[in-house]
Structure 1
Amino acid sequence: MAIDEGFGHENPKNDTCVVIGGRSFIGKPLVSMLLKSSKNWIVRIADSDPCINLDLNEKNSLLSESISSGRASYFQVDVRDKSQIIRAIEGSSVIFHMGVTTTATNSSSNNFYLQYMITVQGTKNVIRACRDCKVKRLIYNSTADVVFDGKHDINKGDESLPYPSRFEDMLSDLKAQAEALVLFANDGDGLLTCVLRPCNAFGPGDGKLVPLLLSAAKSGLFKFIVGNGENMCDFTYVDNVAHAHVCAEEALCSRTDYVAGKAFFITNLDSVKFWDFVSLILEGLGYSRPRYKIPVRLVWFRAVLSKWIHEILEQGNANPFLSLSIVHQLSCTLTFNCSQAQNHIGYAPIVSLEEGITSTIESFSHMVEDSPQLRFRDCNEPSKVDKILGRGRVADLLLWRDDKKTFAYFLGLVLFYCWFFLSARTFVSSAAKFLLMIAAFLFSNCILPASLFGFTIKKLSPSQFEMSETVEDAVMCLASGWNHCMQTLRLVAQGGDWNIFLKVVVLLYLFKSLVLLPFSAVIGVALVFAFTAFFMYKQHEDEVDRLIKLSSIGLKSLKRLLMRNLPENVGSFLSEYPDDGSS
Structure 2
Amino acid sequence: MLVKTTANDVATEKRTCVVLGGRGFLGRSLVARLLQLGGWIVRVADSSSHSLLTDPSVSDSLLSNALCSGQASFCHVDVRDISQIIIVTKGADVVFYMEPTDLDIRDFYNCYMIIVQGAKNVINACRECKVRRLVYNSSADIVFDGSRDILDGDLSFICPGKFKDMLIDLKFQAEGLIRLANNIDGLLTCVLRPSNVFGPGDTRLVPLLVNLAKAGLAKFITGCGENMSDFTYTENVAHAHICAAETLDSRVVSVAGKAFFITNLEPIMFWGFVSLILGGLGYQRPYIKVPTWMVSCIVSLHQCRNDKLYNYSVSPHYMLQLASRTRTFDCSAAQNHLGYSPVVSMKDGIKLTIQSFSHLANVSFYTKYGNFNEQSKAEKMLGSGIVADILLWRDERRTFACFFTLVLVYCWFFLCGRTFASSLADLLLLVIVALYGHGILSSKICGFAVQELPSSRFKVTESEAQQAMRSIAHTWNKGVRRIKSLAKGEDWSKFFRVVISIYLFKSIQAYSVAVLFGIVLVFAFTAFFVYDQYEAEIDALRILIFCGIVELKGLLLRKLPASISSFSQHDNVLNQEKVPARVKEWKQPDHALVVF
Fold equivalence (TM over 0.5): yes
After superposition, the Cα gap between the structure-2 partners of 1:259 and 1:514, relative to the gap in structure 1 and judged at 3 Å, is same
After superposition, the Cα gap between the structure-2 partners of 1:59 and 1:279, relative to the gap in structure 1 and judged at 3 Å, is closer
After superposition, the Cα gap between the structure-2 partners of 1:218 and 1:59, relative to the gap in structure 1 and judged at 3 Å, is closer
What does the per-residue CA deviation read over 1:250-296, in whole Å, with 9 as the maximum and x for residues that have no partner? 01012520110000000000001111111111111111222222222
Does residue 121 of structure 2 align to residue 113 of structure 1?
Answer: no
Opposite residue 475 of structure 2, the aligned amino acid is L
In 1: Cα distance, 2:556 partner to 2:324 partner: 33
In 2: Cα distance, 1:147 partner to 1:36 partner: 33
Alignment counterpart, residue 479 of structure 1, candidates 449, 467, 476 = 476
After superposition, the Cα gap between the structure-2 partners of 1:475 and 1:83, relative to the gap in structure 1 and judged at 3 Å, is farther
In 2: Cα distance, 1:217 partner to 1:246 partner: 36
Opposite residue 490 of structure 2, the aligned amino acid is K
After superposition, the Cα gap between the structure-2 partners of 1:533 and 1:515, relative to the gap in structure 1 and judged at 3 Å, is farther
Alignment match, 2:268:
272
TM-score (norm 2): 0.67
CA shift for structure 1 position 503: 3.3
Alignment match, 1:388:
none
Does residue 286 of structure 2 align to residue 290 of structure 1?
Answer: yes
Does residue 148 of structure 2 align to residue 140 of structure 1?
Answer: no
Does residue 348 of structure 2 align to residue 355 of structure 1?
Answer: yes
Does residue 119 of structure 2 align to residue 154 of structure 1?
Answer: no
In 2: Cα distance, 1:16 partner to 1:268 partner: 28
Residue range with higher mean Cα deviation, 252-261 or 133-142: 252-261
What does the per-residue CA deviation read over 1:323-382, in whole Å, with 9 as the maximum and x for residues that have no partner? 11111111110000000000000000000000000001111111111259x99xxxxxxx
Matches for 1:520-559 after TM superposition, within 5 Å: 520=507, 535-536=543-544, 554-555=562-563
In 2: Cα distance, 1:10 partner to 1:281 partner: 43
Does residue 197 of structure 2 align to residue 197 of structure 1?
Answer: no
Unmatched 5+ residue regions in structure 1?
1-7, 376-390, 398-404, 410-418, 420-424, 448-461, 493-499, 560-583
In 2: Cα distance, 1:557 partner to 1:324 partner: 29
**Secondary structure, in 3 states, of the residue corresponding to 1:258?**
coil
Opposite residue 109 of structure 2, the aligned amino acid is Y
After superposition, the Cα gap between the structure-2 partners of 1:483 and 1:355, relative to the gap in structure 1 and judged at 3 Å, is same
Alignment match, 2:309:
316
Contact in 2 for aligned 1:21/1:101 (Cα 8 Å) = no
After superposition, the Cα gap between the structure-2 partners of 1:315 and 1:60, relative to the gap in structure 1 and judged at 3 Å, is closer
What does the per-residue CA deviation read over 1:33-79, in whole Å, with 9 as the maximum and x for residues that have no partner? 112224x2111000011215136477562211111122211111111
**Secondary structure, in 3 states, of the residue corresponding to 2:241?**
helix
After superposition, the Cα gap between the structure-2 partners of 1:488 and 1:317, relative to the gap in structure 1 and judged at 3 Å, is closer
In 2: Cα distance, 1:548 partner to 1:170 partner: 28
Alignment match, 2:44:
45
Alignment match, 1:251:
247
Does residue 361 of structure 2 align to residue 364 of structure 1?
Answer: no
Opposite residue 45 of structure 1, the aligned amino acid is V
In 1: Cα distance, 2:28 partner to 2:493 partner: 62
Residue range with higher mean Cα deviation, 169-178 or 505-514: 505-514
Contact in 2 for aligned 1:10/1:71 (Cα 8 Å) = no
CA shift for structure 1 position 224: 2.0
In 2: Cα distance, 1:10 partner to 1:117 partner: 39
TM-score (norm 1): 0.69
CA shift for structure 1 position 303: 2.1
In 2: Cα distance, 1:476 partner to 1:198 partner: 68
Alignment match, 2:258:
262
Residue range with higher mean Cα deviation, 171-180 or 539-548: 539-548
In 2: Cα distance, 1:136 partner to 1:123 partner: 16
Q: Percent same amino acid among aligned pairs?
A: 43
After superposition, the Cα gap between the structure-2 partners of 1:59 and 1:236, relative to the gap in structure 1 and judged at 3 Å, is closer
**Secondary structure, in 3 states, of the residue corresponding to 1:26?**
helix
**Secondary structure, in 3 states, of the residue corresponding to 1:96?**
strand
Alignment match, 2:15:
15
Higher RCO, 1 vs 2 (CA within 8 Å, ≥6 residues apart): 2
In 2: Cα distance, 1:150 partner to 1:517 partner: 43
Calculate the aligned-residue CA RMSD, in Å.
4.8
In 1: Cα distance, 2:35 partner to 2:93 partner: 16
**Secondary structure, in 3 states, of the residue corresponding to 1:156?**
strand
Opposite residue 230 of structure 1, the aligned amino acid is E
Does residue 235 of structure 2 align to residue 227 of structure 1?
Answer: no
After superposition, the Cα gap between the structure-2 partners of 1:505 and 1:538, relative to the gap in structure 1 and judged at 3 Å, is closer
In 1: Cα distance, 2:207 partner to 2:471 partner: 43
Contact in 1 for aligned 2:219/2:540 (Cα 8 Å) = no
Opposite residue 63 of structure 1, the aligned amino acid is L
CA shift for structure 1 position 300: 2.1
What does the per-residue CA deviation read over 1:459-500, in whole Å, with 9 as the maximum and x for residues that have no partner? xxx89x9979999997565233233256569xx7xxxxxxx3
Opposite residue 330 of structure 1, the aligned amino acid is A
In 2: Cα distance, 1:395 partner to 1:543 partner: 32
After superposition, the Cα gap between the structure-2 partners of 1:65 and 1:286, relative to the gap in structure 1 and judged at 3 Å, is same
Alignment counterpart, residue 332 of structure 2, candidates 321, 332, 339 = 339
**Secondary structure, in 3 states, of the residue corresponding to 1:42?**
strand
**Secondary structure, in 3 states, of the residue corresponding to 1:118?**
helix
Alignment match, 1:129:
125
CA shift for structure 1 position 320: 7.4
What does the per-residue CA deviation read over 1:94-132, in whole Å, with 9 as the maximum and x for residues that have no partner? 100001356xx3xx2332211111111111111111111
What does the per-residue CA deviation read over 1:182-232, in whole Å, with 9 as the maximum and x for residues that have no partner? 001000111000000000000111111111122222222221222221111
Opposite residue 535 of structure 1, the aligned amino acid is I
In 1: Cα distance, 2:40 partner to 2:184 partner: 25
Contact in 2 for aligned 1:79/1:100 (Cα 8 Å) = no
Contact in 1 for aligned 2:233/2:346 (Cα 8 Å) = yes
In 1: Cα distance, 2:473 partner to 2:138 partner: 65
After superposition, the Cα gap between the structure-2 partners of 1:286 and 1:58, relative to the gap in structure 1 and judged at 3 Å, is closer
Q: How many residues align?
A: 469
Q: Which has the larger radius of gyration?
A: 2
Contact in 1 for aligned 2:46/2:78 (Cα 8 Å) = yes
In 2: Cα distance, 1:9 partner to 1:474 partner: 93
Does residue 98 of structure 2 align to residue 91 of structure 1?
Answer: no
Opposite residue 354 of structure 1, the aligned amino acid is K
